[in-house]
Amino acid sequence: MTTHVTPGATDAEAEATEGRVYNVAGGDWDQIVTAGDTDRSENEQIVVNMGPQHPSTHGVLRLILTLEGETVAEARASIGYLHTGIEKNLEYRTWTQGTTFVTRADYLMPLYNEAAYCMSVERLLGIEDKLPERARIIRVLMLELNRIASHLGGIGPFGLELGATTIFLQGVRMRENVLDLFELITGLRMNHAFIRPGGVAQDLPQGGLEAIRDFLRKAPRMVHDLRTLIDANPVFIARTRGIAYLDLEGCMALGVTGPMLRATGLPWDLRKSQPYLGYETYEFDAQTTDTCDAYGRYLVRMNEIEQSLRIVRQCVDRLAERNVRSDPVMIADAKIGWPARLSLGPDGMGPSPEHIAHIMGQSMEALIHHFKLVTEGFRVPAGQAYVPIESPKGELGCHVVSDGGTRPYRAHLRDPSFHHLQAVSVLCEGGNLADVIPAIASIDPVIGGVDR
């Protein structure tokens, strides 16, 4: 066995390896031992590759760890194993079709990707203040439900990776209820393509509000169960308290936002500081702890679930108010708003019969608008916009550039997981190998958003 250098190895990887690297791919044990014996130095470092396929790395994240015994001397993250070319694909689709692509970037919070993209497009269109009120409230409702689902999708696997399958099962149990609501309202459990430029795809169905109220009745009990299981759990605390420490200075140096920043004590929440979609009219609190460790971040996320439930309750009350009940959910401008009101028919979901009757029998103009919008898409004036929102992982924004046409000229998703994964080195180096897992889980990266 000799030193093995991967072809095209980066400078970073060469720096990381001091001494010999053993590529063990089967072979005689004696060979390996003798090779090791010839060059045994005091502090022997092993480079361990926690490869892209690993049950504990939140997706296809590759970690290259240089270990001295149990201590991590260097930790590097290698990404790109899920790169999908979403941003390039957007340049060949209309603005509305972009929603279906963008939604699959960070797949645990699909509605946030959609909202960031659609809000940037709306800013370019100049229709930010022309959205119907009902559309705004439904957006907030769905976003907060997605926040709950995303946090549970982070806390559940957090427990699973620590070896506590019960946490996973309890979290998944509650998450299933949220996914039921998604299915009822948008038609899909994940990757909804529901928030579109101009509003939302369709209104809440019959019984939608009642289903959400039902969920709100059950949810506090389920959150309480989760908290009883985790909050004071000595094993969980032993594995997360004091682990992956990143204080405010570190967060500022690394540009970290979201729950990681709030766990240092700074109450920076874009919903409070730079509100959008009417968040300034809802009552909720930005949650912070001040322990700066993995346990603090978990507490921030749990508290945010409870705050989200508060916001959802307020949304439901507002949707039932008389002046909002019969609002449209898509902007009135026929040149932008997606024309078809969808409804469930005998052959599945499609444009409602009333809409078909309208465009075929009643209004030539409506037919033309429908045709042009579906085939060509609307035109967005030239310019660029960046609207950041507070996603469950941090600051998510979509930098959208338009050249005046029907397709995005460039759409770049600024994903918080991508940005925060750079902190892996800072969080893990100096700690134990076993602490790498809770460290990464406390960042809560979703590799779809990292790689896009």
Footprint (CB under 8 A) of another protein, residues 252-271: 252-257, 266, 268
The least distance separating another protein from the CB of residue 382, rounded to whole angstroms, comes to 5
Q: Which positions from 202 through 241 interact with another protein, judged by CB under 8 A? A: none
245 binds another protein (CB under 8 A): no
Tell me whether residue 329 is exposed, middle or buried, using C-beta atoms within 10 angstroms of its C-beta: 0 to 12, 13 to 18, 19 or more.
Answer: buried
Choice from 395, 439, 440, 443 touching another protein (CB under 8 A): 395
Quote the CA–CA distance of 205 and 316 in Å, as a whole number.
13
The residues facing 49 across adjacent strands are 64
Which amino acid makes up residue 97?
Q
328 binds another protein (CB under 8 A): no
Task: Figure out which of the listed residues 132, 153, 159, 392 binds another protein, where binding follows CB under 8 A.
Answer: 153
How many chain residues are in contact with another protein, going by CB under 8 A?
87
- Is residue 405 within the footprint of another protein (CB under 8 A)? yes
**Contact, 107 vs 200, CB < 8 A?**
no
DSSP class of residue 405 equals S
4 in contact with another protein (CB under 8 A): no
The region of 230-238, 304-312, 322-330, 399-407 touching another protein under the rule CB under 8 A is 399-407
**Cα distance between residue 425 and residue 45, in whole Å:** 17
Contacting another protein within 45-104 (CB under 8 A): 51-53, 55, 59-60, 79-89, 92-93, 100-101, 104
Site for another protein in 297-326 (CB under 8 A): none
The reply on whether position 369 binds another protein by CB under 8 A is no
Residue 335 in the binding site for another protein (CB under 8 A): no
Max Cα-Cα span within the chain: 88
Binding string, 409-448, against another protein, x = CB under 8 A?
xx-x-x---xx-xx------------------------xx
Binding of another protein by 280 (CB under 8 A): no
Please write down the HEC assignment for all residues of 152-200: HHHHHHHHHHHCCHHHHHHHHHHHHHHHHHHHHHHCCCCCCCCEECCEE
Give the closest residue to 226 by CA, choosing from 323, 305, 321, 317. Answer: 305
